[in-house]
Amino acid sequence: MAEIGEAIADNPASLLIPGQNPIFWAIIGPVWEAAAYSLLWAWQLAFQNAVEASMLLTAIVAPLAVGGSLLPLGGARPIFAWLTGFLSIGMLKLSFNILAGLAAVNFVNSQNTDPLYFPFLLAVFAPVLASAIAFGGGLAVWSAITGIARSLVTAGMQFL
């Protein structure tokens, strides 16, 4: 084992892949790393801003949902659909923040030297997982609300 270390110390170029230019990678490597780092942080920031904008837009249409619920129409009330959407976006934001916190704790405690590890988790993994959790939670809430409404309508029909 010591012989391998001595061979590398004597000839560090033996670690290079044939055809690889060390001067090229010394100059271009940091540029690509910085570009990837910036792109991942931009994706993470864009996701957070999109969630914030979704919450604001959902809050703005609340009066429409309330007004639509006052109309004497059958079927599920618009306020339930609005409430499901608002709760789903809230769950998305909460899930993302929890995942970002867990990723930060993991990154700090793992002593990982890769600078792209944390931005990759925040830009790719956390939004996908948080969106899946919010979609599943919103679908479950909507199914529960429509199931309750359906059972109430069925019970009301039995009395007629």
Q: Is residue 13 included in any domain, yes or no?
A: no
**pLDDT confidence of residue 64:** 84
Q: Is residue 139 included in any domain, yes or no?
A: yes
Q: Is residue 62 included in any domain, yes or no?
A: yes
86 is in which domain, residue-wise? 21-159
Q: Report the amino acid identity of residue 108.
A: V
Q: How many domains does the chain have?
A: 1
pLDDT digits (tens, 9 = 90+) for 46-99: 999 999 999 999 889 888 888 877 777 666 677 888 888 888 899 999 999 999
Q: Is residue 2 included in any domain, yes or no?
A: no
Long-range contacts of 69-77 (CB under 8 A, 24+ apart): 76/145, 76/146, 76/149
Q: Is residue 31 included in any domain, yes or no?
A: yes
Q: Is residue 147 included in any domain, yes or no?
A: yes
Q: Is residue 119 included in any domain, yes or no?
A: yes
